[in-house]
Structures are given as structure tokens and as C-alpha cells.
A and B are shown apart, each in its own frame.
Chain A
Amino acid sequence: MANLFEILGPTMVGPSSSHTAGACRLGLVTRAILGSTPERACIELHGSFAMTGDGHGTKRAILGGLLGFQPDDTRLRDSLEHVEGEGLVYEFRSVDLGESVHPNTVRIEVERDGETLELAGSSIGGGRIEIFELDGFPVSLTGSLPTLVVLADDVPGTIAEIASMFVERQLNLATVRVDRTGRGERALIMIEVDDRIPSELVEGLRERPWVHWIRRVQKLD
């Protein structure tokens, strides 16, 4: 259901809410997960992003997002020039991810301080986005709420323990989703919260022996 400023907005740098504003937000969410501007980025454009992206400033928008520019930041126009000053080395490729994948899709691999991050996401209209793959794991993230993604052993009590860590900090859980590869194998847990997720909570969880991988995705503005 549309809120008022999805109709009277977004206020954005043109020319396309999906190919420019949405592309910028895909860059922004990548940056939000990594924590800051990457040193290196490999960006693969699929479908309409590859086909008409040049004319829509899609590449400039994604790079601008990686630099932290919002969709209404007019620096997006010149982001190719800002990239150099920020020490970001990048590469673009066109790829065909298949017909079942949304035409406005990008796969981004970034690196900073030896840490790498891989994600794939789509611009699904009106500037809204969906990340559907994170470090190879299937997820569903929109950036509309702070989200914690955890790959854990499928053993009893994991969800309760994670939930209690949120409760101790008086953070309200909005949604919880669990997918598992098989019984007793591994479970992918996605938790959306109403408020910012503190980094000490993430670090605390990372030390648990049953946690294999964890990512925090902060909310986009």
C-alpha cells in the first residue's frame, strides 16, 4: 500500500526511478552492509540494466550509491569523477542471469580491508529494491527495516537465544524468517527489527559456535 511520499516522490535525480534511483539504492545497501566505501567493486548488469543502463545513468547511480550518495544527491551525475578521489577501483560487465531473473538486476562484489561481500538485487519499481542473494545465500531484503541475517547450525534454541539478545536490549522484532537446508543441517535466519541493530550484538553473536556467518543490513533512508 502506497504512502504519500511514494506518490509525491521520491525526490530524485533523473531520469528513471528504477534505473537511476533504484540503482543508487542497490549501491547504498551494498555500502551499508560493508560498512563504508569499498576499495574494489565488480558490478554485473543484467537485462534492461545492461541494455539501457548507459542512457539512464545506471552505472553512475550504482557507483554513487557505493560512495554513499542518496538518490536525490546531484553528485550522482558526476559520480565517475568522485570515485577516483575515494580510491574505488571498479569494473562493469554485462551478464545474462536468465529469464527468470528480474530485468533490472545487478550482481555486486565488493572488497574492503580484505573483507569481501557479494550480493544480487533488483530494482523492482518506483525506486524500491530487493536483495535476493547475499554471499551466495538466498535472502529477501528491502532495506526498509534494519535486518540481521545469520547462518546457523540447525540446533534447538538458536532462535530463542538470538531473540533474547534483542529483548535484553529492548529492541522490538518486526519479522522473523527461517529457511533451512535440511533437518539438522544449517538454517538461514532473517530478522527485521524496528530500531538500529547495535554492532556489539552482531559481534556477540559472531562468537557463538553455532553461528557460521552473519550480516547486518542497516535501514536505508
Chain B
Amino acid sequence: MFRSIEAWFEEAADNGLDLAEAVLAREVKNTGASPEEIRERIGATLRVMEEAVEQGLNDDTPSSTGMTGGRSGRLLRSTGGFFGSEFTGMLARAIATLEVNAHMGLIVAAPTAGAAGVLPAVLLTLRGSRGWSENRVVDGMLVAGGVGAVIAQRASISGAGGGCQAETGSAAAMAAATVAYLEGGSHDQVRQAIGLTLQGMLGLICDPVAGLVEIPCAYRNATAAVHAVAGAEMALAGLDFPIAVDEVIDVMGEVGRGMNVRFRETALGGLAATPSGRRIAREAGMSELVELQKRGTAQGERSARLGPS
């Protein structure tokens, strides 16, 4: 797609295109599909996101480990929210998608299955209150895709490659840029939204309990959605982040490469390797994994690259 955010924004400016149009033009060039086909396919993607959220909010069945299932519905029905029902709803929608994912339901990896809840939670929550049409949301998703593609190329979008910052962090940056763009933000405000969001996600490790895409993933999707909205709001208010956006992305890549393999999806460190985490893994029948966790770091190094993405 684009090698940097700056290259993308420059190409848009040089050709008199808006950010979504520039992504669309590039995708047309790369794949040979027509703009209409691409927009239609994004629309279909959006509908899968909507259905997953609905399904997750309405299905109380626990997952096979019992760690998720029914939590998003409980949150949505709660009345003690600090920032009103919209904020509560956003958290619930993020968790709902990950609950459907844990049930082997249909989701859109955006950019990954483990981070599939962030973009739909932000888009579907703000769409109503901000009055974005379906067409505009499709534009916004093109922008999200542009951001994700740059991060995939410069840093990483996989937990095995760069920890959770690479998964939910990338998703949050994508969502923040989308919100800033759809709210009529300038190129610079979209740029700032990405930087302001990603700086808050730097360093986040990937430590899935029992090696499953479930916990902490579901809750990390909810908190990543909060980061996204916070980043977009600060950017739209004119706040600026003094480190250039592509440099922030590069730092995320650098931090990910420097992360011990125990914290990159192997389930051999972090929350996964705690006594509680190991008990859950044992109860889930992951005996080989528990053995590796017991043997500790040395084995963890040996078993680099284990785990889902």
C-alpha cells in the first residue's frame, strides 16, 4: 500500500485526492478490481462486523474455558457507567466481537482476529451520534486500511511479531485515524490522532492465557477502543504529538522486536504464566503448554514463535 503515512498523505495532496480516495486508487492499481467492487466488499465487511457485535451482545453462552461469553451483554445492561451509555456501549461492543471469535463465530480480522473488536466498537458506537452515513463509514474504513497497511509494512501487526501493541495498538491507531478523518479533521489532525493513540499503546505485551485468543484479548480490545477515541479527541482539539507519526510507528516496531519471546504470543510469560494462568491452561487441557511454562524462560527461548496470531 504505502511505505509511510507521509508518503500516503503526500500522494493524496499531489493528486488532489482525499485520504480515502488515495487508498482506493492504490488498491485499484494493485489488484485490478474496480472502485465499486472494493467499496462493495468493504460494505460487506462492515455488515459482518455489525452481525458479530449483535451476536456477541445477545449470546450469554460461556466459551469452552468459561473465561468469556455473556460479559459484553452484562456490561451493556449495566447502569453504573461513568461517561454515559455510549461509552459503556463501546466497551461492550469491543468485548462482544472477541466473545464471538472465541465461539468460532464469524468475525473480521482488523487487522487480526485478536484485535477484531476495536474498529467495529469505535465505528458502530460513534456512527449514530455523529451521523456518519454508510458511504462515509466505508470511506473511514479505507483510511483505517491505509493506516494498518503502513504499520504492517514498517512495524508489525502480529502478536508473535510485536506483542499486543502490534495487534490492539495497530487497531486503535486505525480507529483513531478513522474518527479524526470522518469528523472532518485535517491531514495533520489525522496524523496526530495516530501518533497520540499509538504512544499510549507502546510496550503492551501479548500474553494470552492458555494460549487462547480470549483473555486478556477481549478486555484489551475494550481498552484499546478507549485509547483510539482519546487519541482522536485530543487531535481534533488541536493537540499535537511532537514525534513524527512514522517515527512513532517505527518505535512500535523496535519495541516489538526487542520484546522477549515470552511476551510475544507464546503464552510463556505475562498473565499467561501466572499461577492463575497456568491453572486455567491445565483445566483447559493444555498440558504440554503448562509443562513448558513450568520449565520457564530457557524453554521459552527455545520455543520462540509458538502461539496463535
Interface residues of A (CB under 8 A from B): 1-21, 47-48, 50-52, 54-57, 60, 72, 74, 76-77, 99, 102-103, 125-127
Contacts and interface: CB of A to CB of B under 8 A. Distances in A.
Interface in B268-309: 284-286, 288-289, 292, 302-303, 305-309
B110 interface: yes
B144 interface: yes
A50 B118 CA distance: 30
A48 B265 CA distance: 11
B108 A9 contact: yes
Given A2-B149, A126-B109, A8 B309 contact: no
26 contacts: A1-B1, A1-B149, A3-B149, A7-B145, A8-B42, A8-B45, A8-B111, A8-B145, A9-B109, A11-B48, A11-B106, A11-B107, A12-B106, A12-B109, A15-B104, A16-B309, A17-B113, A51-B211, A51-B288, A52-B212, A55-B64, A55-B65, A103-B303, A103-B305, A103-B307, A125-B160
A51 B1 contact: no
Contact of B309 (A6, A18, A51): A18
B70 interface: no
Contact of A56 (B38, B103, B105, B212): B212
A3 B145 CA distance: 9
Contacts of A56: 212-213, 308
A162 to B, nearest CB: 27
Contacts of B45: 5, 8-9, 11
Contact of B30 (A3, A60, A74): A3
By size class, the interface of chain B is: 35 or more
Interface string B137-172: 000011011001100110001101100000000000
Given A51-B288, A56-B213, A19 B148 contact: no
B100 interface: yes
Contacts of B213: 14-16, 56
A1 B108 CA distance: 20
B309 A4 contact: no
B182 to A, nearest CB: 16
B172 to A, nearest CB: 14
Nearest to A94: B288
Contact of A52 (B113, B286, B305): B286
A51 B114 CA distance: 18
Contacts of A14: 100-107, 113, 116, 213
Contacts of A103: 303, 305-307
Contacts of A50: 288
B113 A16 contact: yes
B140 to A, nearest CB: 11
B41 A5 contact: yes
A74 B106 contact: yes
Given A9-B109, A12-B107, A55 B284 contact: yes
B305 A17 contact: no
B308 A52 contact: yes
Given A12-B113, A14-B107, A72-B106, A3 B305 contact: no
B65 A8 contact: no
B212 A99 contact: no
Nearest to B23: A4
B104 A52 contact: no
Nearest to B148: A7
Contact of A20 (B104, B111, B152): B104
Contact of A7 (B107, B111, B292): B111
Contacts of B214: 15
B174 to A, nearest CB: 8
Given A4-B142, A51-B288, A54-B285, A15 B212 contact: yes
A203 B68 CA distance: 53
B158 A76 contact: no
B289 A51 contact: yes
Given A4-B1, A7-B152, A52 B111 contact: no
Nearest to A19: B308
Given A7-B110, A9-B109, A11-B48, A48 B145 contact: no
Contacts of B302: 99
A89 B44 CA distance: 36
B104 A13 contact: yes
B54 interface: no
Contacts of B307: 48, 52, 103
A14 B96 CA distance: 13
Contacts of B76: none
